Structure 1
Amino acid sequence: MRGFRPLRPDQDPFYRPPAGFEHRAPGELLRSRVVELAVFGVVPLRVSAWQLLYRTSDLNGVPEASVTTVLLPRGAVPDGRRPLISFQCAIDALAPQCFPSYALRRGARALGAIPQLEVPLIAAALARGWAVSVPDHGGPGGRFGAPREPGYRALDGIRAALAFGSLGLDADTPVALWGYSGGGLATVWAAEVAARYAPELAIVGAVAGSPVGDPGSAFVRLNGTLFAGFAMVFLAGLRRTYPTLEPIAQLRVRPRYLDMLAKAEVGVTLPLLARLARRDVGRYSDLDVDTLLGLPEMRRIITDIRPGVVAPTMPLLIVQGVNDEIIAVADIDALVERYVGAGARVEYLRDRFSTHFLLQFIAIPTMLDWIADRLADIPAPSGTRTVRSVAASRRASRGHRTMARLSARLLTGRPIRSEPLVPQVDRAGQHPDATRLTGS
């Protein structure tokens, strides 16, 4: 494998569905292959990994084929008792080199793609002994920001994984959903559509870290800031999703901004953030931002892309930084309020200490412990708590020590084997140090 470079998804025949695939059932496996993964495309990730091409559909129900990368701990044997975690990466891009199925592969040229930064989260789930599915939830067209369809792709990826014999799973396998930021948004879409779209799946819970909450509000807030690249990539994705946006863009937005949107479609996320920092759509339009977004068609789209209308039937954990510099805590507060008002069971942790990027990593033990409790049939808590830090508990401290050892294994290319942490609970089903999470 020395010097091997995988083909990008737009060039790789594996991604092209066979003739007649549209007549297959949603989630039906079309083909599979063994793959090698690596940290930043370089340091081998010593796990067992495959890629599955499966039938799914887009926002409008049009059949398409998508890919998920499925993983087991190194040396794990197929076992029907093993749970499955669907981890939705924060793809936050349209370019095919940012799709997890490419960015996670050994030899991939994808430096700056966010899925490469999320390998520790995937490895942490594997270290619990769980199987993991990592779907390309943006689909073959990279439609970042589209509503609901990331959920279809994630759920159909779960269906394909359960049917894939090498994992040894079955229809009764317990499943959990997990994602952060853009991956958290994909996770709440999957949670919202699951009862209608895939009612047969045994989904025990969903964890969404900083799940955007209100994409339209996020666009307005990030536009013209250091993180304006996120807003521009998001707008570029919506142009692919909603054809009615194109006449508005051509009429109201100057060619220079359209050229930047075209570059946003093909660039890797982190370099794009640097290149597009402080770009303000209002400077390239004959309308200010508020007026532009107030156009009737824009209002319809902004309403359509906002999650929270449908209450997920599984319990949720939502984690958010109070001082998050990218996703406003007010937007997540409002999302939780919509969910609770619709009847969802939500535990909401607001962290005073963390920034956006920091919370993703310091919250790993808390998020995984919550999933472990749902897999152990411990009743899910509910309610909102504002804490000093989600890392400020004995249980989380143990998890961070485990994460430090796991990170060392990742960086040195040693095998990621199953080293599960067994949750300790008292007779009331509560963790002995649970009160320490409450903070002040």
Structure 2
Amino acid sequence: MRSEVPPVIATFDGSSGAGTPFHRRHRRRRAGVARLALATAAALTATLVAPVWSVPHARADDRMYEAFYTPPEPLPAGAPGDLIRTEPSRLALEPSGQLGSYVGTGTRIMYRSSDAQGNPVAVTGTYIEPDVPWPGNGPRPLLAYATGPYGVGEQCAPSRLFNQGIHFSQGFDLMFNMEEGFIATLLARGFAIVVTDGVGMGVHGPQSPQWLNRVASGTALLDAARAAQRLPDTSLKPDGPVAFWGYASGGQASLSAAEQAATYAPELRVVGTFADAPVTDVAEAIPGIDGNFFAVLAGYLLRGIIAAYPQTEQAVRDTLTPRGLQMLDWSGRTCLLQGGVDYAFRHLQFWFNTDLTALVSNDPFKSLLAAQRVGNLTPTGPVYITHNRWDPLVPYQPARQTALDWCARGADVQLWTNEQPPLLNKLDINNLLPLYVDGERSIQWLADRFNGVPTTPNCGQL
């Protein structure tokens, strides 16, 4: 989406009301919610918590990206994974670029891929060439990486956050490159990395990301791997080993890539796939969004459905109340933390004019959501899934069922269950923290795949 916002940000009932007592109360409440959420992430100081509604006219600060991120029209002829354009990309762990650094060189890429309905699209991302040698066996490995949700506004794209470390604009439009620690660590250990923005994310234009679409998420990651192997002047071999990594919605992408690899990108030498807290059944994940700090994810999901299946837009809008329509439109302009603050702990029914349970239980939404399930096709290569048993946002049981279904198909699957007990459920501690707690175990599993170490599937114990 374009980053401009209206001169006055609307209240929940659609009025401007920036100076009303109602508005001021919610401004104070939202600032408090922001401090609580950011403290749990140990990532912000209170000085960054600015009033959400006090900006008379705001614009994201990254118009400098528009030239690169605007796809050519029409797209040049080519095949999925072909590069459209590239340019050097500054890599920064934080905005000044002075506190630590990546041991690698970044290249921003735009490449051809396929969307949810098989149409050719331009997708952006970042390739990082390590400065250090690969210490393991064989040629340098390539890790195709899909992040969790960073927001829906184009300014929130992971490839832009690599330049900034922290994105901050529009009053409180804030997002961290929250997985940069993993990427920097993997890079320092000799992995080449390509991070995709995903279909519809980052590119400049009116579209939204095709978020949580099983097909689009997998093809974008597979084609990112192809694009990286086609870049000139890298240490990669065209037929070198590839693995996939993803967290949450990125976990859906990595597992989907493993499922689609055999038919969509059979030339890739896939040696393994890792996913933490993957969304393997979107319908089963909806209850976890209800009343959550990240209730804005409902807006991302609706926008993703509309982007992937444009014919559903009017049907989606017809189910929403005026406040739901405001949420749908505004959620497309901002990054995850502002979205969290704006709609913290909202119940989903608040936005719908019909019973939500009945809505998702009947077509067309039932079939659309069922089509996003991961686990119906046999993955290529071994798969390692980690998940907290008590994850309040992305439920554990659907991921376990995906593992069981793949085991029944003869796949090589290992499921690691994190048993961290429930803590502050609506702030998603049990979704966010286990990724970091189990990070070293996950990295080692990937290194073992590239080094040819035998796997340890646990299908018999699930």
TM-score, reference length from structure 1: 0.80
Q: Match for 1:329 among 396, 407, 425?
A: 396
What are the residue-to-residue correspondences of 1:137-152 with 2, within 5 Å?
A: 137-139=198-200, 140=203, 141-152=208-219
Partner of 1:396: none
Structure 1 residues 107 and 357, CA gap change in structure 2 (3 angstroms): closer
Equivalents in 2 of 1:117, 1:73: separation in Å?
Answer: 20
Does 2:339 align with 1:272?
yes
Q: Match for 1:179 among 219, 223, 246?
A: 246
**Letter of the 2:226 counterpart:** R
Q: Match for 1:132 among 193, 208, 217?
A: 193
Equivalents in 1 of 2:194, 2:216: separation in Å?
Answer: 17
Equivalents in 1 of 2:358, 2:419: separation in Å?
Answer: 34
Equivalents in 2 of 1:340, 1:15: separation in Å?
Answer: 41
Q: Match for 1:63 among 113, 120, 132?
A: 120
Equivalents in 1 of 2:176, 2:107: separation in Å?
Answer: 17
Equivalents in 2 of 1:190, 1:222: separation in Å?
Answer: 25
What SS does the aligned partner of 2:221 have? helix
Does 2:356 align with 1:356?
no
Q: Match for 1:343 among 404, 410, 415?
A: 410
CA contact 1:174–1:204 (8 Å) conserved in 2? yes
CA contact 2:115–2:308 (8 Å) conserved in 1? no
Runs of 4+ in 1 over 6 A off after TM superposition: none
Q: Show structure 1 runs of 5+ residues with no match.
A: 388-440
Equivalents in 1 of 2:181, 2:327: separation in Å?
Answer: 32
* Count, aligned residues: 381
CA contact 1:100–1:115 (8 Å) conserved in 2? no
Following TM superposition, by how much is the alpha carbon of 1:110 offset from its aligned partner in structure 2, in angstroms?
A: 4.5
What are the residue-to-residue correspondences of 1:107-256 with 2, within 5 Å?
A: 109-110=167-168, 116-139=177-200, 140=203, 141-256=208-323
What are the residue-to-residue correspondences of 1:235-314 with 2, within 5 Å?
A: 235-314=302-381
Structure 1 residues 334 and 42, CA gap change in structure 2 (3 angstroms): farther
Does 2:452 align with 1:377?
yes
Equivalents in 2 of 1:263, 1:171: separation in Å?
Answer: 42
Equivalents in 2 of 1:225, 1:289: separation in Å?
Answer: 16
Residues 412-437 of structure 1: per-residue CA shift (max 9 Å, x gap): xxxxxxxxxxxxxxxxxxxxxxxxxx
What SS does the aligned partner of 2:243 have? strand
Following TM superposition, by how much is the alpha carbon of 1:264 offset from its aligned partner in structure 2, in angstroms?
A: 0.7
Following TM superposition, by how much is the alpha carbon of 1:105 offset from its aligned partner in structure 2, in angstroms?
A: 0.9
Equivalents in 1 of 2:300, 2:112: separation in Å?
Answer: 26
Following TM superposition, by how much is the alpha carbon of 1:173 offset from its aligned partner in structure 2, in angstroms?
A: 1.0
Q: Match for 1:89 among 126, 133, 147?
A: 147
Equivalents in 1 of 2:189, 2:161: separation in Å?
Answer: 23
Does 2:422 align with 1:365?
no
Partner of 1:101: 159
Partner of 1:36: 90
**Letter of the 2:70 counterpart:** R
Following TM superposition, by how much is the alpha carbon of 1:70 offset from its aligned partner in structure 2, in angstroms?
A: 0.8
CA contact 1:93–1:142 (8 Å) conserved in 2? no
Following TM superposition, by how much is the alpha carbon of 1:307 offset from its aligned partner in structure 2, in angstroms?
A: 1.3
Q: Which moved more, 1:121-130 or 1:167-176?
A: 167-176
CA contact 2:248–2:276 (8 Å) conserved in 1? yes
Equivalents in 2 of 1:17, 1:251: separation in Å?
Answer: 31
Partner of 2:70: 16
CA contact 1:22–1:63 (8 Å) conserved in 2? no
Following TM superposition, by how much is the alpha carbon of 1:115 offset from its aligned partner in structure 2, in angstroms?
A: 6.0
Following TM superposition, by how much is the alpha carbon of 1:43 offset from its aligned partner in structure 2, in angstroms?
A: 3.1
Equivalents in 2 of 1:108, 1:31: separation in Å?
Answer: 25
Following TM superposition, by how much is the alpha carbon of 1:292 offset from its aligned partner in structure 2, in angstroms?
A: 1.4
Following TM superposition, by how much is the alpha carbon of 1:223 offset from its aligned partner in structure 2, in angstroms?
A: 1.9
Structure 1 residues 342 and 247, CA gap change in structure 2 (3 angstroms): farther
**Letter of the 2:79 counterpart:** A
Does 2:130 align with 1:73?
yes
Partner of 1:395: none
Structure 1 residues 246 and 257, CA gap change in structure 2 (3 angstroms): same
Following TM superposition, by how much is the alpha carbon of 1:185 offset from its aligned partner in structure 2, in angstroms?
A: 1.2
Following TM superposition, by how much is the alpha carbon of 1:286 offset from its aligned partner in structure 2, in angstroms?
A: 3.1
RMSD: 2.5
Partner of 2:80: 26
What SS does the aligned partner of 2:86 have? strand
Q: Which moved more, 1:160-169 or 1:113-122?
A: 113-122
Following TM superposition, by how much is the alpha carbon of 1:40 offset from its aligned partner in structure 2, in angstroms?
A: 3.7
Following TM superposition, by how much is the alpha carbon of 1:299 offset from its aligned partner in structure 2, in angstroms?
A: 0.7
**Letter of the 2:93 counterpart:** V
Structure 1 residues 231 and 359, CA gap change in structure 2 (3 angstroms): same
**Letter of the 1:55 counterpart:** R
Following TM superposition, by how much is the alpha carbon of 1:90 offset from its aligned partner in structure 2, in angstroms?
A: 0.9
Structure 1 residues 251 and 52, CA gap change in structure 2 (3 angstroms): closer
Equivalents in 2 of 1:13, 1:345: separation in Å?
Answer: 44
What SS does the aligned partner of 1:257 have? helix
Equivalents in 2 of 1:66, 1:256: separation in Å?
Answer: 32
What SS does the aligned partner of 1:90 have? coil
**Letter of the 2:439 counterpart:** I
Equivalents in 1 of 2:314, 2:165: separation in Å?
Answer: 40
What SS does the aligned partner of 2:354 have? coil
**Letter of the 1:72 counterpart:** E
TM-score, reference length from structure 2: 0.77
Equivalents in 2 of 1:75, 1:226: separation in Å?
Answer: 40
